[in-house]
Amino acid sequence: MQTNASTSLANNYVSQSIDCLHFIDGQYVSSLNGKTFDNINPATGKVIGIVAEGGKEEVDLAVAAAKRALQGPWKTMSQNDRINVIRRIGDLILERKEELAVLESVDTGKPIWLSGSIDIPRSAYNFHFFADSLRSDGTEAYQMDQVAINYSVRKPLGVVGLINPWNLPLLLMTWKLAPCLAAGNTVVMKPAELTPMTATVLAQICKDAGVPDGVVNIVHGFGPNSAGSALTEHPDVSAISFTGETTTGKIIMASAAKTLKRLSFELGGKNPNIIFADSNLDEVIETTIKSSFINQGEVCLCGSRIYVERPAYEQFLEKFVAKTKELVVGDPFDAKTKVGSLIGEEHFNRVKGYIELAKEEGGTILTGGRSPEGLEQGYYLEPTIIVGLDGNCRTVREEIFGPVVTVIPFDTEEEVLAQANDTHYGLSASVWTNDLRRAHRVAGQIDAGIVWVNTWFLRDLRTPFGGMKQSGIGREGGKHSLEFYSELTNICIKL
Ligand SMILES: NC(=O)C1=CN([C@@H]2O[C@H](COP(=O)(O)OP(=O)(O)OC[C@H]3O[C@@H](n4cnc5c(N)ncnc54)[C@H](O)[C@@H]3O)[C@@H](O)[C@H]2O)C=CC1
Ligand SMILES: O=C(O)/C=C/C=C(\O)C(=O)O
């Protein structure tokens, strides 16, 4: 893909065609049969480029290249050189950050300030962080009196498949790729079909940083009967790290079982946000606006079920609704925009379907629920707050993955914990209180992989990250990522 833009050239980007090819064995290539599909800018509904559509043949080629690369210069590269290459990928992402931010916004519909301040800097940091982690990484050693000493050594898993969704395309791809490379593996990545652009540039960045040919490969395409399923079925792929929908995770698990692949899954969420009356309401509102509507609500960690202790309920609603009404929905490249376009037509209709369902279930829409006037070209939806529903309603139980939240009052800690945990998801939660003991007590009783107290999405990349129940399998982050992406061999030496 040829790119040379900055944010000031955003208009050129949306008017010129940007095409995405596969990246196999260090080269950009078309599909063997020449098949392509259209890439649509959700903010305009217009085609912005064509994408090579891969399938089994392209995945076979990519996996073969990755398998060969396991025996090439990547294997013999010193750990110090590998660390430097991984750091350099982060440096090059920062050097191209404006261009990448534009591509991410064009591809997803998210505001340019968001891709420029979160998606792209965090993508670079993923490489810097895991390069540093590798430098300080150690393994275990156990001595058996004077009889023997055991120590373990890390080895790469082999060829790893990385399959990603469309909401945080480069951030999530690099969150997987950086530790995967740090552990010495080779990779075949399958970006989401709706957001192929930044991954395509990332391949060139990896090459420019000194990653040997064949170590990083990309095959574009769809999931079922396409590049995605070909990757999960491939016998030479040792592991799959997947972020996306829970139902897709189940399909991938069944497919991967045939060749007993190692799996890491980060799946859906319906995250509770529990607000006690003693919390600082202004802080609560400021963060709840973000945890509800940032990235159009298309973040798996968003707190879409808001529970407010009854004494604070009316005041919370008044302020929350007022602040939500101030959010400007519009063109991702307009500096005033806080909420951009949803990812595409299918998802837009799905989210609108939930708003209709909420009305049928007896809910009241306090604000939002419709597309802003004058923005009929893209997939824009006003941030939506719904009240009057209980935990039996589908609107409260199912992941909507859009700018839609429900607010429910509660009276006791026991009651709210029961409601918060009454879900088959268990990704994240937020608890708001100034009572220290209650904070510990409630946080410890929520069935979620990540609980934030008096904050949200405050990330320390050393911490375990992942979901309980049907929100995921395993943990990534810091040493957890290095564990997932490597095999440990224990060596026992008799003294
Ligand atoms: N928890 C999370 O982090 C996220 C959850 N989602 C959820 O997923 C919904 C739909 O988003 P999508 O990106 O369409 O999710 P998805 O799970 O359908 O797709 C994610 C990735 O998996 C691939 N894929 C789909 N079916 C596959 C198969 N059978 N084998 C191998 N790969 C396959 C897709 O091509 C894409 O690259 C959202 O509405 C939301 O509910 C989406 C993004 C992130
Ligand atoms: O901070 C992270 O590593 C990831 C955040 C968000 C997701 O995983 C997601 O929305 O899918």
Of 8-22, 206-220, 402-416, the least confident: 8-22
Q: Is 483 a catalytic residue?
A: no
C-beta of 24 in contact with ligand 2 (< 6 A): no
Per-residue pLDDT tens over the stretch 435-486: 999 999 999 999 999 999 999 999 999 999 999 999 999 999 999 999 999 9
The residue among 291, 379, 386, 403 whose CA lies nearest residue 330 is: 379
pLDDT of residue 17: 72
- Reported ipTM: the value is 0.94
Look at ligand 2, atom 9, and give the residue with the nearest C-alpha: 300
Spacing, Cα 164 to ligand 1 middle (Å) = 7
Per-residue pLDDT tens over the stretch 222-248: 999 999 999 999 999 999 999 999 999
Q: How far apart are CA 283 and CA 286, in angstroms?
A: 5
Per-residue pLDDT tens over the stretch 34-92: 999 999 999 999 999 999 999 999 999 999 999 999 999 999 999 999 999 999 999 99
Look at ligand 2, atom 4, and give the residue with the nearest C-alpha: 172
- Name the residue with higher pLDDT: 14 or 427: 427
Q: Where exactly are the structural domains of the chain?
A: 4-267+470-492, 272-463
**Half-sphere exposure in the Cβ direction for 153 (13 Å, CA):** 4
Task: Check 58, 98, 99, 266 and give the catalytic one.
Answer: 266
For residues 14-38, average pLDDT: 91
Q: Which residues line ligand 1 (CB under 6 A)?
A: 163-167, 190, 192-193, 222-224, 228-229, 232, 243-245, 248, 251-252, 266-269, 300, 347, 399, 401
Q: Is the pLDDT of residue 8 over 70?
A: no
Ligand nearest to the CA of 301: 2
pLDDT of residue 376: 85
Q: Is the pLDDT of residue 6 over 50?
A: no
For residues 294-311, average pLDDT: 98
Which CATH number among 3.40.50.2020, 3.40.309.10, 3.40.50.300, 3.90.1150.110 corresponds to the domain 272-463? Answer: 3.40.309.10
Spacing, Cα 230 to ligand 2 middle (Å) = 25
Per-residue pLDDT tens over the stretch 139-174: 999 999 999 999 999 999 999 999 999 999 999 999
The class of domain 4-267+470-492 in CATH terms is alpha beta
Spacing, Cα 301 to ligand 2 middle (Å) = 7
Q: Is the pLDDT of residue 218 over 80?
A: yes
